[in-house]
Amino acid sequence: MAGHPRPATPTASSAEEAHRGAFSSRRVFILAAIGSAAGLGNIWRFPYVAYENGGGAFVIPYLVALLSAGIPFLLFDYAIGHRYRGSAPLSFRRMGRAGEVLGWWQVGICAVIAVYYAVIIAWAARYALFSFGQTWGDDPNEFLFVDFLQVAEPGLGLEFVPGVLVPLALVWLTILVIMLLGVQRGIGAASVVFIPLMVLAFLALVVRSLFLPGAAAGLDALFTPDWSALADTGVWAAAFGQVFFSLSVGFGIMITYASYVGRRTDMTGSGLVVGFSNSGFELLAGIGVFAALGFMAQASGLRIDEVATDGLGLAFVAFPAIISEAPAGQLIGVLFFGCLVLAGLTSLISVIEVVISGVRDKLDLGRLGATLLVGVPTATVSVLLFATTTGVPILDTADYFINQFGIVLVAGVSVLVVTWVYRDLPDLRAHMNATASLRLGRWWMLLIGVITPAVLGYVLVQELRNALEAPYGDYPAWFVNTMGWGVAIGVVVVAVVISLLPWSSRTSLDTPLPLADATRPVRKGARQ
Amino acid sequence: MSGAAIVMMLVAMLVIWGGLALAVLNLLRYHGEEPGEVRRDL
């Protein structure tokens, strides 16, 4: 690898790992990675994407996307974090001087996501409580936007909504406590508790939904194949987009988590478990959600396509209606919104850890200092922007732009730079294969270096065309330019500025020794 | 449910959950070195 800095000694590397923190075992790492991947999108996005894009036939493009892009990209992120033993900025910096910008770009995207993601968890927590009294009444849509969120016109305001402010503050308090406890005692312990709890709760929800009248009609709508959809490139793009967003790849999370894993851990086997667990949870969510929607359609005398929806509409409008109509609806409400809270918390933890980890490495701060330096401003901005009556349009716009023109773009640029500028894929592959239960062949490099950027480029161009044809969400142009394009571009500018700042002299920018060399006894006189 | 929907549901379950089961089995059978109880957190 031409241009790489001098390798560090194994001793220096071990001391650095002791300073940064680590997961205590492979099991904890896998649970944390599943917690990051299995988020809100698994529950409220996948079912509708599958339904809209061929139903049962969607299984085919979905599996192709999972095996040809999703899991290979997951392993690509693992390889970077595990090989270079650092946060996203430090890992890319160790790869090459200019690479650091990519790392801070990913950190910036995570900071933006963290700011708005927390408020959705706060809404879900409130709705779990609302389920007991079915507070939304006969019109969940009006209750959500008028009574609960008190949504105002797009803009910036400081009119707080107490019903959102209090749970949002509690979400941030919870997150800060978990992050302060550190990698193992905070992130690891939370994952070990939250993930099994979430899976059990969702299983209970699925079982309850399957016994509702009309459930079979819902499943029929979800799984009836429309084979003509396979000829539609949009369906294939939707499958790749779903797998890509769902796995939390390409924006620093998996790099950060992989850097906390022991050097001799089998990463390919772990990656397969994480990838299939994420898809398994999505499938479970699809069954549970469409069984419930089938009941709703039957109860209201509507067709499935008239009740099927995704995102906020599914979670905070359709499900409250289902809860109001269904026998033991309160149980469904607590399980569904409880799962949203748990899925959201474990994902938010991973997102904010990317930022904390980057700041820790850059400034060589302790866990306490870095958590407070990152967590307090992030929580403050989150509360100021999203506990107000103007929060929803900002969330909607920022979420769309940071996903489509942030994550997709940085992921595509990262694979291109690592593959074609630093030409690092052979080294990363060798690193993974040194401890792999399933070895990566040359096919992996082909998928990462050629197929993945091509698919990401296609998705990006399609979305760019849509965004330029009509203003997003019928919002005013100034609003979209500020909260959409402004945020997506601003993150890149900030990343460039931070990458120009010096690193702490105590942070080693040397590349860790390759695994085979690091495990070999160091002889006297060997290169130090 | 129609026959085609049942078949596709079973295929999805078999491939995805079956894939998960195989991935877990592979992990359990592989005796690579575990990091063990590292406990290096601060």
Chain A / chain B CB contacts < 8 angstroms: 132
Q: Do A224 and B5 touch (CB under 8 A)?
A: yes
Q: Do B20 and A22 touch (CB under 8 A)?
A: no
Pick from A302, A336, A316, A333: nearest CA to A141: A316
pLDDT number for residue A4 = 46
Which residues of chain A neighbour B42 with C-beta distances below 8 Å? 19, 21, 182, 366-367
Which residues of chain A neighbour B26 with C-beta distances below 8 Å? 269, 272, 437-438
pLDDT number for residue A441 = 94
Q: Do A21 and B8 touch (CB under 8 A)?
A: no
Q: What CATH number corresponds to the domain at position A301?
A: 1.20.1740.10
Which residues of chain A neighbour B11 with C-beta distances below 8 Å? 56, 59
Residue A221 lies inside a defined structural domain of this protein: yes
Is residue A520 pLDDT above 60, yes or no?
A: no
Q: What are A402's two structure tokens?
A: 């940071």
Which residues of chain B neighbour A435 with C-beta distances below 8 Å? 32-33
Q: Select the residue of A222, A225, A367 nearest B42 (Cβ to Cβ).
A: A367
Average pLDDT over residues A486-509: 95
Residue A2 lies inside a defined structural domain of this protein: no
Instruction: Give me the residues of B, 1-42, that contact A with CB < 8 A.
Output: 1-2, 4-9, 11-13, 15-17, 19-20, 23-24, 26-27, 29-30, 32-42
Q: Do A262 and B34 touch (CB under 8 A)?
A: yes
pLDDT number for residue A522 = 38
pLDDT tens string A230-251:
998 888 988 988 898 899 999 9
DSSP track, A346-407? HHHHHHHHHHHHHHHHHHT--HHHHHHHHHHHHHHHHHHHHSBTTHHHHHHHHHHHHIIIII
Structure confidence at residue A15 as a pLDDT band (50, 70, 90): low
In angstroms, the CA A321 to CA A328 distance is 13
Residue A155 lies inside a defined structural domain of this protein: yes
pLDDT number for residue A523 = 36
Q: State the nearest Cα–Cα gap between B3 and chain A, in angstroms.
A: 9
3-state secondary structure labels for all residues of A253-317: HHHHHHCCCCCCCCHHHHHHHHHHHHHHHHHHHHHHHHHHHHHHHHHHCCCHHHHCCCHHHHHHH
Write the ipTM.
0.86
Q: Do B40 and A56 touch (CB under 8 A)?
A: no
* A210: Cα separation from own chain's centroid: 28
In angstroms, the CA A151 to CA A146 distance is 6
Structure confidence at residue A309 as a pLDDT band (50, 70, 90): confident
Q: State the nearest Cα–Cα gap between A142 and chain B, in angstroms.
A: 34
Q: Do A262 and B36 touch (CB under 8 A)?
A: yes
Contact in structure between A163 and A126 (CB atoms under 8 Å): yes
Chain mean pLDDT for chain A? 90
> Closest-CA residue in chain A for B39?
A24
pTM of this structure: 0.90
Q: Do A184 and B41 touch (CB under 8 A)?
A: yes
Q: For testing the chain A interface, which of B6, B7, B8 should be mutated: the one with the most A CBs within 10 Å?
A: B8
Q: State the nearest Cα–Cα gap between B14 and chain A, in angstroms.
A: 10
Containing domain of residue A287, as a range?
24-516
Average pLDDT over residues A90-118: 96
Q: State the nearest Cα–Cα gap between B15 and chain A, in angstroms.
A: 9
DSSP symbol at A147? I
Pick from A386, A387, A355, A384: nearest CA to A371: A355
> Closest-CA residue in chain A for B2?
A220
Residue A171 lies inside a defined structural domain of this protein: yes
Residue A15 lies inside a defined structural domain of this protein: no
Q: Do B40 and A18 touch (CB under 8 A)?
A: yes
pLDDT tens string A427-452:
999 999 998 989 999 999 999 999 99
pLDDT number for residue B29 = 87
Which residues of chain A neighbour B16 with C-beta distances below 8 Å? 63, 276, 279-280, 283
In angstroms, the CA A499 to CA A361 distance is 12
Average pLDDT over residues A275-294: 93
Number of domains in chain A: 1
Is residue B38 pLDDT above 80, yes or no?
A: no
Q: Do A435 and B33 touch (CB under 8 A)?
A: yes
Q: Do B9 and A225 touch (CB under 8 A)?
A: no
Handedness of CA A466, A469, A473, A475 (dihedral sign): positive
pLDDT tens string A36-54:
999 898 988 899 899 989 9
Close Cβ partners of A467 (under 8 Å, ≥ 6 residues apart): A401, A404, A405, A484
pLDDT number for residue A514 = 78
